[in-house]
A and B are shown apart, each in its own frame.
Chain A
Amino acid sequence: MAILFIMPSIAAVGIFVYGFISWTGYVSLTNWNTLVKDLSFAGLKNYIFLFNDYRFQSDLRNTLFFTLFFIFGTLGLGFLLAVLIDQNIRQESLFRNIFMFPMALSFVVTGVVWQWLLNPSTGVNLILAKLGMENLPRWYTDTSIAFSFPLGNIEFGIPVAIIAVVIAAVWQMTGFSLAMYLAGLRAIPDELKEAARVDGATEFQIYRKIIFPMLLPITISITIIMAHISLKIFDLIYAMTGPGANFVTDVPGVYMFETTFRGNFYANGAAIAMIMLIFVAIFIVPYLIANRKGD
Chain B
Amino acid sequence: MVQVTSPPDEVVEGVRPVPGASPAPDAAGLGRARATGFLVPAMVLILVFLVVPAAWTIYLGVTNYRLTGLAAAHPEVVGLDNYTRALGDERFRTSLLLTLQFVLGSAVIGQAGLGFAIAFALRDRRGPLRRVVEGFVLLSWILPSSVVAFLWIALLDRDAGTLNALLGIPGTAWLLDHPMLSIIVFNTWRGTAFSMMLYAAALENVPRSHLETARLAGASTWQQLRDVVFPRIRGHVLTNLLLISLWTFNDFAPFLITAGGPEQRSEILPVYVYKVALSGGELGFGAAISFVMLLINLVIALIYLRMLGRRKESA
Partners in one complex: no
Listed in ascending order, the chain B residues whose CB lies under 8 Å from chain A are none
Listed in ascending order, the chain A residues whose CB lies under 8 Å from chain B are none
